[in-house]
Chain A
Amino acid sequence: MNIRSALIVAALSVCAFGQQKPKYTPPRLDDGKPDFNGIWEVRGKVDENLETKVNGKNPIVDPADGKIPYKPEALAKKKEMSAKRATEDTTNKCWMPGVPRLMYIPHPFRIAQAANQPVIAVLSEYAHVVRNITMGGEHLDGLDLWLGDSRGHWDGDTLVVDVADFNDMTWFDGMGSLHSDKLHVVERYTRTDPETITYEATIEDPVMLAKPFKISLPLKLHTEKNAQIMEFECYAVKEGPTFTVGDKKDPEHGR
């Protein structure tokens, strides 16, 4: 090898080293939009504690410490709720889990999307929750919703969903991580490989949080044969031979 070819090889190696993975081109619907249809689910126990590393990574990517940036008084409240989480975790009561929690509870969901339609639907297996993402339009005014009001638009191949009009009844995870009704979530859904949606959400709550925080998670496609969403009617057991689950948990909110 002469010097010239050695230099060329070196230059090529540097290029290859610095080169990023080619951007994934998602399948598309007839309207040219990326096709998100399929059954998706987060991997790992994200929902149990958003502040714990899952598969070696912090679900919370900003701030860098991976913690929810609560104001001191809100943090105290969170700790109080966390101590009572066995009975107070809203998903143990079969309540709607809110957003973003719906997207990373350990239950699959189907995204149902068709070309040129005004809604993209998220059909969760958890307690037959249906989440309508309305494309365009303004948020509703003056009401509180469990899942908030979802308004979608496209940023290139990314589906961006602005979610507001929340109630203050849901948590971010199973650790008492409450929020106020001023919660505002902006989600970004991007297909980053044939079996992955990279899900990002920026979460603001001027009442509870000192600053916004951001999560980033892979949602994985269920590729097994016969994958389907099944029924999941949710209620506390009222009778048992030695105890009544309804009493132990929350009899008023069983359904």
Chain B
Amino acid sequence: MKIRTVVLAAAGALFAITLPLFAHHSFAAEFDATKPITLTGKFTKMDWVNPHSWIHMEATNPATGKVEKWDIETGPPNTLYRNGWRKDAIKEGQEIVVNGTLAKNGTNTVNARNVRTPDGKTLLAGSSEGNTPTTPPPTESK
């Protein structure tokens, strides 16, 4: 049983590595990989739209200490769905924790890696940031 579990886990890990991530747009052009950010705050609403879905929330800006509005980019609805996310996963006013990367343009825009909901679940956001271990991040054109 244990060996079987380990084998299954290993197979799962391999599958996870080879699964495609949503990455069609230029993460490096819009987001600063050196600026990871964690936001804890109130979920306002979500736009389930293509090519990217958006979470809107209010959270304290670590830079100013003030509660501000934030726009959180995630993958498209189908990617979220395939990651196990459903449209009622988060409700208005609920506290969520977003892990992601800050935009380069100085606005309150974040590309989400994952979102933690009040029941302790972590939803993968289909980030366009490179996080497949086998795939190096794209090189910038000089």
The B contact surface, by secondary structure, is loop
Within the complex, what minimum Cβ distance (angstroms) separates A225 from chain B? 12
Cα distance, A83 to B29, chains bound together (Å): 8
Report B18-37 CB contacts with A as 1/0, cut-off 8 Å: 11111111110110000000
Within the complex, what minimum Cβ distance (angstroms) separates A45 from chain B? 5
We find that the number of chain A residues with CB closer than 8 angstroms to chain B is 46
Q: Identify which of residues 28-86 in chain B touch chain A, using a CB-to-CB cut-off of 8 Å.
A: 29-30, 44, 47, 49-51, 54, 56, 69-71, 76-78, 81
A152 in contact (CB, < 8 A): no
A47 touching B23, Cβ below 8 Å = yes
Cα distance, A6 to B81, chains bound together (Å): 60
How many A-B Cβ pairs are below 8 Å? Answer: 108
A230 touching B109, Cβ below 8 Å = no
B54 touching A42, Cβ below 8 Å = no
We find that the number of chain B residues with CB closer than 8 angstroms to chain A is 38
Segment touching A, from B4-12, B94-102, B114-122, B134-142: B134-142
Cα distance, A92 to B26, chains bound together (Å): 9
A82 touching B141, Cβ below 8 Å = yes
Cα distance, A41 to B50, chains bound together (Å): 18
A220 touching B135, Cβ below 8 Å = no
User: Smallest CB-CB separation from B78: which chain A residue?
Assistant: A230
Instruction: List 20 A-B residue pairs with CB atoms under 8 Å apart, sorted by A's residue number.
Output: A41-B20, A44-B135, A45-B21, A45-B132, A47-B23, A52-B138, A78-B141, A91-B51, A92-B51, A106-B24, A107-B24, A125-B78, A174-B24, A175-B26, A175-B138, A175-B141, A176-B141, A235-B50, A237-B49, A243-B71
